[in-house]
Structure 1
Amino acid sequence: MRGALRWAGISVLLLLALLAAAACGGYLYLRIYTAPQTSGTLELAGLRKPVQVVREPSGVVHIRAANEHDLFFALGVAHAQDRLWQMEFQRRVGAGRLSEVLGRAALEQDRFLRTFGFYRAARNAYRSLGSEGKSAVDAYVAGVNAYLRTDPGLPLEFRLLGYEPEPWRPADVLVWAKMMSFDLSANYESELERYRLRARGVEPERIAELMPAYPEDGPVVLPEGAEVPPAGERQAEALLRLRRSLPRSVEASNNWVVSGRRTGSGSPLLANDPHLGLGVPALWYLAHLESPTLEAVGATLPGVPGVVIGRNRDIAWGVTNVGADVQDLYVLEETEGGRGYRHGEEVLPYRVREERIRVKDAEDVVLRVRETVYGPVVSGVVDAPGGRPLALRWTSLEPEDRTIEAFLGINRARNWREFNEALRSYKAPSQNFVYADEEGNIGYVAPGKFPVRQEGHSGLAPVPGDGRWDWRGSVPFEEWPRAFNPREGFIVTANNKAVPDSYPHRISLEWAEPYRAERIRRMILSAGRLGVEDIVRIQQDRRSLLFEDFRPVLEELRVRDERARRWRERLLRWGGEVRPGSEEAAVFEAWYTELTRLPAREVGQEYWDEPRYLLRAMRRGDTACEPSGSREDCLRFAARALGRTLERLGEEVPEWGRVHRAVFEHPVLSETPLARLAGREVSAGGDGYTVNVGPYDPASFRMDSGPSYRQVIDLAPEGRSLYVIPMGQSGSPLSGRFDDLLGLWSGGGYLRMRTAGYEADDTLILRPSR
């Protein structure tokens, strides 16, 4: 999954001003840095009663408060103490205000963000919250601001850029949820890809070959026979026709839950590892929150109140991206002069909003954004072929969004009924929620606002914005995909197909490749009675089913070069474990990367990572295989690709972990003299299709997304639950807690998830000021 933090990183190569700032003041700052106060007593205005904030040696935070207001207030304080720059950067990204502090280098990104209107949507979302949701957000914001009023030592980034943070506002909390939703709602990009291919003259039938449909025998989260509403005959036929030519989702996360019938303890086990961008600092922050009405522990997001993934006193949950199709692009027919567009029998004028972008050391830029009945016209800021304007409709830009209330409700939920009721207000991004409780139940829900489209509108490519293809509503709460205590005794989701063809609504026609889901299922089914160690073993698994599929291709290769023959034989003896220390893994991954070049001339891209397209070419032939497109031509291409692979890797083939590095870069400091202070990289295994995922840039083998958080939760009364994040709890490169968890994460280790019996390294008492 491509994380929002990494997506938001700008081209810092252009930030030459930072080089000078770092050279002049950066190292001086190392001498005057003041760590946040994490022990003793801190008086803050806005608290109602004293709050205890305890940090373990790992930096994991435990907050005990007398009420929820003080609980969320104190979480705002703790987040700000450890991650203030991250929170600042995130809200500036969402608001399209990076140019104010980074100059013209950030202007293009700000134009994009202002055009979409993320911050505008965040303000509307806050207005739509109920009283409990607003209270939680307000308390969190009050905590951040109370901390800022103590005049704390500011993080390095503020000093280098020469400014101080503004007070926090409620929309600053909700805008990062919008950015996460954008990161996990990438359908508009696949629509543009298909639009671009058609503009290149690629026929729809050929696009269906280049972007194969989800395999008919691939695992489905809710298989046929699950308790889902029946489909009408006509609608089911339409779904079967559509699913033959679908692009693949690029997102990647795993979760699964196993009932007590399959565990040694007789209680459920639940695992989750969301795959998002890797960066500095970590995306998540580990915390335990406790008040008389709410106790939860797990992964929190700096800038947002509550636990997003984890457990409470009674239940546990984990999430992966559904990949729901909640975005559509509409091609507008403009009137003469471009002042309006045709919709139905009417000509509608554009509603124009002005966005003033302040630019450091330059004049303000005024952006005029045209709004339509669908949403903003985005064709000026996305790579769209042709000259006609494209408008975007997306559920996350709609005025009402109470998703944060759903998460707060989950934090309090005590059972399956309350868990479902909490999700009633969930909108976006749609996630595969797996569930377990201490009573032994397991379950699954995919919540969200799923558009109901007109018959004939697949959602796969832009359609005319003349009213004929407008949405007809959304899927009712009662008909969301669900399962409770399924007969199989476990539920697995890995961004694979969520619902069977009999499901009456079209959630999506784009799903991730089934390799990870299939491998997890195999390991569960072959394990007998499962314990925590077995779940950890599955989560850390790097066996490549991609290699399993491509091994028969290797068997058929006819290679003349002696070195290539030797490596072919080594690969055929290899078991497919993509370990960091494996030379075979390096050769296989580099060879697969060479294979992805096959349709480069046709699609206009250097790499085309579509495994089933490539397998089909090797088995049946393909027009991209020159000269004749025969199967033999494709196998000759694959043989030459093996030769090119060995040339690329050099005389001494490196171990996979030497070239495949998990890279953690700072979004601003990565190209300054402070890059080595702020950035990290470690050896990594896996690939984009292994359970322990290791996606990489095919040009460099760099891995800049992956498991951003891992958890294994044991619902047994004395269960041993585990979690970990990469890097550390602190965002300061000068803190001992900056990267102290990186070795644990990369080595497959975990922290104990504790709510009691932990070692207290620092204890801070927050008191109401007199």
Structure 2
Amino acid sequence: MKRFLRVLAWLLGLFLLLALALGFSGYLYLRSSLPQGEGRIALKGLSAPVEVVRDRWGVVRIRAQSLKDLFFAQGFVHAQERLWQMEFQRRVGQGRLSEVLGEATLSQDRFLRTWGFYWAAQEAYQRLFPEEKEAVDAYAAGVNAFLERGSPLPPEFRLLGFRPEPWTGPDVLVWAKMLSYDLSGNWEEELLRHRLLARGISPERLMELLPPYPEDAPTVLSAEDLRLPLKREEAPSALLRMAPPRFLEASNNWVVSGSRTTTGKPFLADDPHLGLQAPSLWFLMALEAPGLKAIGASLPGVPGIVIGRNHRIAWGVTNVGADVQDLYLLEEVGGRGYRYRGQVVPYRVREERIRIKGGREEVLRVRETVYGPVITDALQDPPKTPMALRWVSLDPEDHILMAFLGVNRAGNWEEFQRALEVYSAPSQNFVYADIDGNIGYIAPGKFPIRKEGHTGMVPVPGNGEWDWLGYRRPEEWPQVLNPPKGYVVTANHKVTPKGFPYALTYDWAEPYRAKRIEELLLAKEKLSLEDMKAIQQDQKSLLYRDFRPVLELLTPLSERGQAWKGRLLSWDGTMDKASEEALVFALWYTEFTRLPEKEVGEAYWDEPRYLLKALEEGDKNCDQPETEYQESCLDYAALALEKALDRKEALGAKAWGEVHRARFAHPVLTHTPLKRLSDREVAFGGDRYTVNVGPFDPATLRMDHGPSYRQIVDLSDMEASLFVHPMGQSGHFLSPHYADLLALWRRGDYLSLRFGAPLGRTLLLEPLPPP
């Protein structure tokens, strides 16, 4: 009875909140805007009936009689469940948020318009292969079929007072461009180095502050894995070696040969670490039509399956972080042009009209060069010298969708390789397994060929001397089939071994996650499905293992500090959400990252190897100028512990998960009275360096990035494979599937997605009869 009363009270509170925000008629409208999940719907554009089945979790299975109808139905279903998300993503890519959100997003629109994502999507659409274009057009037609029905729109449209425009081909492609942007951060690294050099920091000091990837750390591929001849490496220059492992969107994946498993067949695991949001980035689906049978994670707004399996193979992706962006310093002449190959070349000016909610319009004049747009014009604190961007994702031709559609249909390694030959960006670490027992790895992408001396790490003169010379051929990409060690692990760490013929990038993630995954894979002679799950959920910190010797040498400044030194030394380093030691260690390390703040101009400098070297060898930043004596770095670390304990007391927290919370915020509703309905927040463990990752804002301790999707594929029984993503399948906050997967995701549970006939609600999409 008490539980019933609590539920009743919650429902009454929900009704009152909606009534206050939208009125009673608005509430009724919202109820009517939930998607139709069963019955029949006649649609113009279909050639034959399509079956859409939703299971108890809202996971969708679509069966069609042709690929065209399949992608049409996928577009329709995505629109049913995630239309607002798709609209928001489209407006981000178009740089048109201000039309519906007002002045608050104007600077973001200026930035997006300057880069020209939508221009690039429009150009790419004109150059699609016929088969690729048919899939894109069918998908867009499915979205438009939903819009043309005149069904009540999701609540966000009513709140903001507009209706979406018809969907087009470039709308499909632009979200792929935005994801490529999110996963390509080299331009920011170049600006960072440029800024630090301008501050007077020498290249030698930069090597200390931003240490290169350690030579003894693991790489994805070993020398014996590669078929390409290795070259003798010459001693690199200071700037060539300067390689800061900064945080981009991260991920883990691995594939294990049947020789190392209890089943005798491979396991393949993947968990891409991306932004946590409401609704989820991903949508679970099974797609089936003649010539295609794939299941896994799809992206609302894009046809096909991005990560998953079909009836013969499985695949997973993590970000390579390849350097496919360069900034070019422009020598301006009279403000009208720039010097290039001995001549003054006038800027091409592209006019962008940004409409702002309320009626105002702003005209943005974007300067274009032979390299691309002058992106420093859109920065709030631009450098003195203007810089233009060269980036592969702004090239006029882009066939990334064709690559993924080919992967969806591939039945063996050769077909998988061939599908990826047209892959562009962002480069991904693709791991592969098939039912015949093969495992493999490939890093596809358009990797620029730079002339000798151009590392891609700092801006170079845009005078024509440092232009790209072309792209690497597919046969030159890092790849291996059936590596001798019997497994492949990728965790955004360095891909290629010493002596590889060219550099993919010099910016690699710290190898902590990769080391821990390998450690766990090698801990048993034979690995089971349960072992794969345990690895994916692991939150033991190798960062703690590296910093533990520092704690042993520490002389705390108080009895409180002494007591906590003992507790931390007795701790096993697991960053569990219920652990008080995890909380103190995270606060202590975070405080310690403030060490070079005055030198670099950034509050937190999360570079573990710089910090460890400072503790071992000393560093000028450890001495506090406000005191009369010279502090050592151990003194600084002891003071950092006291500050961490002060912060813990101010927070009033007894466990890591009390303050380290995974946050799922709606991009619009989080700023309205409906925030309590749209947003979610859960306690979480881990940190930036654990396998089950938990990166956090050091100022707030909030976690806005993390495992956005998890899958484990058992190649001995594909139907027993496991999948999950946070939040839920629906984008509608009144749907029972808005956040029903969040509890599973948090506690490490999974769903089984099968091709077999599921139990659930069935919706039949039928061709509209002729008039």
Matches within 5 A, 1:302-451: 302-336=300-334, 338-382=335-379, 386-451=383-448
Aligned letter for 2:149? T
After TM superposition, give the deviation of residue 83 of structure 1 in Å. Answer: 0.3
Residue 547 (structure 2) pairs with residue 556 (structure 1):
no
After TM superposition, give the deviation of residue 125 of structure 1 in Å. Answer: 1.2
After TM superposition, give the deviation of residue 759 of structure 1 in Å. Answer: 2.2
CA distance in 2, matches of 1:310, 1:223: 26
Aligned letter for 1:713? V
After TM superposition, give the deviation of residue 604 of structure 1 in Å. Answer: 0.8
Counterpart of 1:84? Answer: 83
Counterpart of 1:37? Answer: 36
Counterpart of 1:108? Answer: 107
After TM superposition, give the deviation of residue 153 of structure 1 in Å. Answer: 1.3
Q: Is the 8 A contact 1:619 1:631 kept in 2?
A: no
Counterpart of 1:744? Answer: 744
After TM superposition, give the deviation of residue 766 of structure 1 in Å. Answer: 0.1
Residue from 538, 541, 551 that aligns with 1:541: 538
After TM superposition, give the deviation of residue 384 of structure 1 in Å. Answer: 5.5
> TM (normalized to structure 2)?
0.95
CA distance in 2, matches of 1:659, 1:22: 33
Q: Deviations over 1:58-112 (max 9, x none)?
A: 0100000001001000000110010000000000000000111111111110000
Q: Is the 8 A contact 1:452 1:506 kept in 2?
A: no
CA distance in 2, matches of 1:413, 1:545: 38
CA distance in 2, matches of 1:297, 1:230: 38
Which moves more between the two structures, 195-204 or 675-684? 195-204
Counterpart of 1:12? Answer: none
Counterpart of 1:640? Answer: 639
Q: Is the 8 A contact 2:615 2:634 kept in 1?
A: yes
What's the % identity of the aligned pairs? 59
4+ runs deviating over 4 angstroms: 20-24, 238-243, 627-632
Counterpart of 1:6? Answer: none
After TM superposition, give the deviation of residue 188 of structure 1 in Å. Answer: 0.2
Counterpart of 1:488? Answer: 485
Counterpart of 1:700? Answer: 700
- What secondary structure is seen at the aligned counterpart in 2 of 1:256? strand
Counterpart of 1:180? Answer: 179
Residue correspondences, number: 747
Residue from 258, 272, 275 that aligns with 1:277: 275
Matches within 5 A, 1:16-27: 25=22
CA distance in 1, matches of 2:564, 2:737: 43
Q: Deviations over 1:635-670 (max 9, x none)?
A: 000001110111101175520000100000010111
Aligned letter for 2:662? A
CA distance in 2, matches of 1:332, 1:450: 23
After TM superposition, give the deviation of residue 140 of structure 1 in Å. Answer: 0.3
Q: Is the 8 A contact 2:448 2:470 kept in 1?
A: yes
After TM superposition, give the deviation of residue 27 of structure 1 in Å. Answer: 6.8
Aligned letter for 1:296? A
Matches within 5 A, 1:156-171: 156-171=155-170
Residue from 262, 265, 283 that aligns with 2:263: 265
CA distance in 2, matches of 1:357, 1:89: 16
Matches within 5 A, 1:646-665: 646-650=645-649, 653-665=653-665
Q: Deviations over 1:444-470 (max 9, x none)?
A: 000000001111111111111111111
Residue 538 (structure 2) pairs with residue 528 (structure 1):
no
Counterpart of 1:17? Answer: none
Residue from 493, 497, 505 that aligns with 1:500: 497
Which moves more between the two structures, 688-697 or 747-756? 747-756
After TM superposition, give the deviation of residue 29 of structure 1 in Å. Answer: 2.4
CA distance in 1, matches of 2:221, 2:236: 16
- What secondary structure is seen at the aligned counterpart in 1 of 2:302? coil
Counterpart of 2:45? Answer: 46
Counterpart of 1:626? Answer: 623
- What secondary structure is seen at the aligned counterpart in 2 of 1:693? coil
Counterpart of 1:677? Answer: 677
- What secondary structure is seen at the aligned counterpart in 1 of 2:318? strand
Counterpart of 1:117? Answer: 116
Q: Return 5+ residue gaps in structure 1 as ranges.
A: 1-19
Q: Is the 8 A contact 2:430 2:443 kept in 1?
A: yes
Q: Deviations over 1:273-313 (max 9, x none)?
A: 00000011000000000011100000000000000000011
Aligned letter for 1:256? W
Q: Deviations over 1:685-735 (max 9, x none)?
A: 000000000000001110011000000000004662000010000001100
CA distance in 1, matches of 2:184, 2:644: 35
Aligned letter for 1:305? P
Aligned letter for 2:736? G
Q: Aligned in 2, Cα 1:384/1:224: closer, same or farther, shift over 3 Å?
A: farther
Q: Is the 8 A contact 1:620 1:631 kept in 2?
A: no
Q: Is the 8 A contact 2:576 2:685 kept in 1?
A: yes
CA distance in 1, matches of 2:633, 2:685: 29
Q: Deviations over 1:544-592 (max 9, x none)?
A: 0000000001111001311111011000000001001000000000000
- What secondary structure is seen at the aligned counterpart in 1 of 2:365? strand
CA distance in 1, matches of 2:234, 2:279: 48
After TM superposition, give the deviation of residue 250 of structure 1 in Å. Answer: 1.3
Aligned letter for 1:603? V
After TM superposition, give the deviation of residue 28 of structure 1 in Å. Answer: 4.9
CA distance in 1, matches of 2:20, 2:331: 53
Aligned letter for 1:617? A
After TM superposition, give the deviation of residue 31 of structure 1 in Å. Answer: 2.9
Q: Aligned in 2, Cα 1:26/1:456: closer, same or farther, shift over 3 Å?
A: farther
Q: Deviations over 1:162-213 (max 9, x none)?
A: 0011100000000000000000000000111111111221111111111111
Q: Is the 8 A contact 1:22 1:672 kept in 2?
A: no
CA distance in 1, matches of 2:156, 2:429: 36
Q: Return 5+ residue gaps in structure 2 as ranges.
A: 1-16
- What secondary structure is seen at the aligned counterpart in 2 of 1:436? strand
Q: Is the 8 A contact 2:136 2:172 kept in 1?
A: yes
CA distance in 2, matches of 1:768, 1:492: 47
Aligned letter for 1:329? L
CA distance in 2, matches of 1:694, 1:475: 35
- What secondary structure is seen at the aligned counterpart in 1 of 2:499? coil
Aligned letter for 2:655? E
CA distance in 2, matches of 1:574, 1:416: 45
CA distance in 1, matches of 2:482, 2:380: 45
CA distance in 1, matches of 2:190, 2:754: 45
Q: Is the 8 A contact 1:40 1:765 kept in 2?
A: yes
Q: Aligned in 2, Cα 1:565/1:334: closer, same or farther, shift over 3 Å?
A: same
Aligned letter for 2:75? G
Q: Is the 8 A contact 2:18 2:674 kept in 1?
A: no
CA distance in 2, matches of 1:719, 1:619: 52
CA distance in 2, matches of 1:750, 1:627: 50
Q: Is the 8 A contact 2:282 2:725 kept in 1?
A: yes
CA distance in 2, matches of 1:418, 1:406: 11
Q: Is the 8 A contact 2:21 2:673 kept in 1?
A: no
CA distance in 2, matches of 1:653, 1:398: 50
Which moves more between the two structures, 250-259 or 645-654? 645-654
Aligned letter for 1:674? L
Q: Deviations over 1:120-160 (max 9, x none)?
A: 00111111210000000000000000111111111110000
Q: Is the 8 A contact 1:622 1:631 kept in 2?
A: no
- What secondary structure is seen at the aligned counterpart in 2 of 1:670? helix
Aligned letter for 1:205? E
Q: Deviations over 1:331-353 (max 9, x none)?
A: 100112x1110011211111111
Counterpart of 1:467? Answer: 464
CA distance in 2, matches of 1:540, 1:482: 28
Aligned letter for 2:489? V
- What secondary structure is seen at the aligned counterpart in 2 of 1:202? coil
After TM superposition, give the deviation of residue 232 of structure 1 in Å. Answer: 4.3
